[in-house]
Amino acid sequence: MSNSVAVSTVIYLSMFTLSVTSAVFAEKMFENRDLVCLAKHLKTLRNEQRFYLYTGMAATVCAIVLPCFLASVRATSVGNDISVYVLPNYEIAQKMSASIQSFIEFQKVSNCELLFSLVVFLGAKIGSLSLIFFLIELLIIAPVYYSLWLERDQLSLPAGLVVYYLLWYSFSLSGMRQSIAMSFILMAFVLWRQRKGKKKVLLSVAIASLFHISALLVVAIFFVLYVINEVSNKKFKYMDLVVLVGLFIFYRSFENILAGFLELVQPRYAQYIYENAETVMDFSSIPMTDLLAKTISLVYATFVIKRQASSSTYGKQEKFELSLSWLGRYFLLFMLNFKESLRIAFYFDYTYILILPRSFKIVKLSRDKKNIYISIIILFGSLLAYWFYNYMVLGVYKTNIFLLAF
pTM over 0.95? The answer is: no
> How distant, in Å, are the alpha carbons of 141, 174, 226, 349 from that of 182?
11, 14, 18, 10
Band (pLDDT 50/70/90 cuts) for residue 98 is confident
CA distance 167 to 380: 10
Band (pLDDT 50/70/90 cuts) for residue 120 is very high
Among candidate residues 360, 358, 364, 373, the one with its CA nearest the CA of residue 322: 358
Mean pLDDT across 375-403: 93
In SS3 terms, 168-223 reads as HHHHHCCCHHHHHHHHHHHHHHHHHHCCCCHHHHHHHHHHHHCCCCHHHHHHHHHH
| pLDDT tops 80 at residue 228 | no
| pLDDT tops 80 at residue 253 | no
Mean pLDDT across 370-397: 91
CA distance 9 to 149: 28
Least confident of 82-96, 171-185, 329-343: 329-343
299 in Cβ contact with 245 (< 8 Å): no
Write the pLDDT tens digit of every residue in 348-379.
Answer: 999 999 999 999 998 888 878 888 898 889 98
If one counts every other C-beta atom within 10 angstroms of the C-beta of residue 371, the result is 14
If one counts every other C-beta atom within 10 angstroms of the C-beta of residue 26, the result is 24
Mean pLDDT across 79-98: 93
More confident residue, 227 or 150: 150
Band (pLDDT 50/70/90 cuts) for residue 214 is confident
Least confident of 72-76, 86-90, 314-318: 314-318
With both helix axes pointing from N to C terminus, report the angle between 352-365 and 176-193 in degrees, rounded to the nearest 10: 50
DSSP H or E stretch at residue 243 = helix 239-249
pLDDT for the residue numbered 321: 83
Round to the nearest angstrom and report the end-to-end CA distance of the chain.
24
Q: Provide the phi-psi class of 118: left if phi over 0, else alpha when psi is between -120 and 50, else beta.
A: alpha
| pLDDT tops 90 at residue 232 | no
pLDDT for the residue numbered 312: 47
Band (pLDDT 50/70/90 cuts) for residue 402 is very high
Least confident of 241-250, 324-333, 383-392: 241-250
| pLDDT tops 90 at residue 69 | yes
Q: How many helices (H) and strands (E) does the chain have?
A: 21, 0
pLDDT for the residue numbered 267: 64
Out of 42-46, 48-52, 273-277, give the one with best mean pLDDT. 48-52
* Mean pLDDT, rounded, of the chain: 84
If one counts every other C-beta atom within 10 angstroms of the C-beta of residue 377, the result is 12
| pLDDT tops 80 at residue 227 | no
Mean pLDDT across 138-157: 94
| pLDDT tops 70 at residue 252 | no
Write the pLDDT tens digit of every residue in 307-323.
Answer: 776 554 556 677 788 88
pLDDT for the residue numbered 29: 83
CA distance 123 to 118: 8
pLDDT for the residue numbered 387: 96
Mean pLDDT across 217-223: 85
